[in-house]
Amino acid sequence: MENTVNKMGHDWKETAKKGFLFSGEMTASATHEIKNSLAVIKENAGLLEDLARMSNKDRPLLPAKIIALGQRITKHVGQANKTITNMNKLAHSTDRFEASVNVVEILEFLKTITSRLTTNRGVRLTISPPGSSTGNDFMLTTSPFLFKQLVWQCICLLMEEMCDSKEVQINIAGGDKSVILLFKGVSVSKEAFDLFVSKEANALSSPINYDITRDENTGELVLIVRNSLS
């Protein structure tokens, strides 16, 4: 099957491929977390069953143990529910191809759903300014899903290029109908950056109105995302 290309030469098949990969990576991470919670719930439910059986053999019930087991089950039910809620939110980010979004909220959400992936690599992700913006300084009209995907691709590049530093800091600045993301603390080689632009970032060059550059002195990435052209 030939690649589907629009009149501007954009390869939408490649965009779809990258989107599926991003969605699959997030889903795999979430289901792993849910599976871990279910394993803990099953283990503690089994211990409750053991306590109940022992009580039938004239052994006294131990309220403290029962309460502790119940609390563990409740904790992991809550964790699994939070993971499912986040995945539901990610899925619904495709409901509208374009929408007005709060960039700080999106980055904080992305930090949450990728926490297992970053933690497993010993990486700490920080957003500045933290928390949700109350004004319109960081509002943007763009594709919510593809914007998350683009930022995650940038983070993955930085994790591959890390040496001593194990922290990725994203500084947010407002521009003229745009938002600027400064990825601080990690120097990216020119070779890795050029490969990233040609293999990864270009798949989103038409759906999202953005520019990505590399500071020649520090090697740090700068991502400028503008309001959608449509």
Angle at 106 between CA 102 and CA 108, to 5 degrees: 120
Neighbouring C-beta atoms of residue 215, cutoff 10 Å: 13
Task: Name the residue among 133, 140, 104 with its Cα closest to residue 112.
Answer: 104
Q: How far apart are the first and last CA of the chain?
A: 28
Site of tokens 């300014």: 129
Contact 155, 114 (CB under 8 A): yes
* Interatomic CA distance for residues 225 and 212, integer angstroms: 9
Angle at 152 between CA 151 and CA 158, to 5 degrees: 95
Residue 88, pLDDT > 90, answer yes
Question: Of all residues in the chain, what percent carry a pLDDT higher than 90?
Answer: 55
pTM score, whole prediction:
0.82
Residue 1: band (very low, low, confident or very high) from pLDDT cuts 50, 70, 90: very low
Contact 187, 161 (CB under 8 A): yes
139-171, pLDDT tens digit by residue?
899 989 999 999 999 999 999 998 877 889 999
Q: Which residues, 6+ apart, have CB-to-CB distance to 30 below 8 Å?
A: 83, 84, 86, 87, 113
106-143, pLDDT tens digit by residue?
999 999 999 999 999 999 999 987 554 455 678 899 98
Residues counted in the chain: 230
